[in-house]
């Protein structure tokens, strides 16, 4: 059986496999200021105030997505459906639409890894939306700090992101199957991680040998 994976957890794994294990295997959870800030941005989007319909199309927030082939599921912040005679015909929508997935982020990513992680999250949403609506969906990232949308280049880099996503899902399912929380990765940056109180990344691993040595030194 293939274990279902949430789209949100892909980012946790990319940020730190140990964090992913703590969340998914141990069911640990702690919030910090960064998590709260992200939640506030998403709460506004998910409140429904972004949903509307007019003659040019409609927009929905908090859209549930899934893909049976990859066994992934999650929620898109917001999807716009723009009527266009030049767009592909979607059977399920009953018309020609440009379907645009918008992912909201509080800030622009501070590192290449964070940027990659945001992109893969959005790509996973696209794979789901493509299969649901039967057309090639567009993806945009909206950065709340600079109030800007950025279009993601999936039309030219689809294969690259598809194999990256597949590889990642394979690695994540290995962790879930093993039931073992991964150790802290070498060089892992922990700044901003809300789980540091549970993970205790700076406490040395318990070792019987060092314990015996310490006791011998105390005598």
Rounded Cα distance between 126 and 114, Å, is: 19
Q: Which is nearer to ligand SF4, 134 or 201 (CB)?
A: 201
* CB of residue 198 to ligand SF4, shortest distance in Å: 8
Question: Could you tell me which of 5, 27, 43 has the C-alpha nearest to residue 195?
Answer: 27
Q: Which is nearer to ligand SF4, 30 or 75 (CB)?
A: 30
* CB of residue 186 to ligand SF4, shortest distance in Å: 11
* CB of residue 93 to ligand SF4, shortest distance in Å: 41
Q: Cβ neighbours of residue 180 under 8 Å, at least 6 residues apart?
A: 21, 25
113 DSSP assignment: H
* Tokens representing residue 65 in the block: 């997505």
* CB of residue 30 to ligand SF4, shortest distance in Å: 10
* Tokens representing residue 72 in the block: 């992934």
Q: Which is nearer to ligand SF4, 95 or 192 (CB)?
A: 192
Q: Which residues bind ligand SF4 (CB under 6 A)?
A: 16, 18-19, 22, 184, 188, 190, 193, 195-196, 199, 201
* CB of residue 12 to ligand SF4, shortest distance in Å: 9
Residue 126 near residue 133 (C-beta atoms within 8 A):
no
- Give the residue carrying structure tokens 């949903």: 51
Q: Which is nearer to ligand SF4, 5 or 199 (CB)?
A: 199
Residue 193 near residue 199 (C-beta atoms within 8 A):
yes
Q: Which is nearer to ligand SF4, 17 or 57 (CB)?
A: 17
Q: Which is nearer to ligand SF4, 153 or 192 (CB)?
A: 192
Phi, psi for 71 (deg, rounded to 5): 55, 55
- Give the residue carrying structure tokens 């509307």: 52
| b/e map 56-74, b = 16+ CB within 10 Å | ebebebbbebebeebebbb
* CB of residue 167 to ligand SF4, shortest distance in Å: 20
């Amino acid at each position: 059986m293939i274990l279902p994976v949430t789209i949100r957890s892909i980012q946790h794994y990319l940020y730190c496999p140990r964090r992913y294990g703590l969340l998914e295997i141990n069911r640990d959870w702690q919030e910090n200021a960064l998590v709260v800030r992200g939640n506030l941005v998403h709460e506004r989007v998910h409140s429904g105030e972004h949903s509307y319909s007019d003659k040019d199309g409609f927009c929905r927030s908090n859209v549930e997505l899934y893909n049976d082939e990859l066994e992934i599921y999650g929620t898109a912040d917001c999807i716009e459906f723009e009527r266009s005679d030049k767009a592909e015909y979607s059977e399920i929508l009953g018309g020609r639409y440009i379907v645009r997935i918008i992912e909201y982020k509080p800030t622009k990513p501070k590192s290449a890894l964070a940027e990659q992680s945001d992109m893969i999250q959005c790509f996973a949403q696209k794979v789901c939306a493509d299969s649901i609506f039967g057309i090639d969906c567009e993806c945009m990232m909206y950065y709340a700090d600079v109030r800007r949308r950025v279009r993601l280049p999936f039309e030219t880099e689809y294969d690259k992101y598809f194999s990256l996503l597949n590889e990642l899902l394979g690695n994540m399912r290995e962790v879930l199957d093993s039931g073992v929380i991964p150790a802290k990765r070498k060089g892992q940056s922990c700044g901003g991680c809300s789980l540091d109180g549970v993970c205790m990344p700076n406490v040395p691993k318990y070792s019987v040998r060092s314990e015996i040595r310490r006791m011998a030194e105390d005598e």
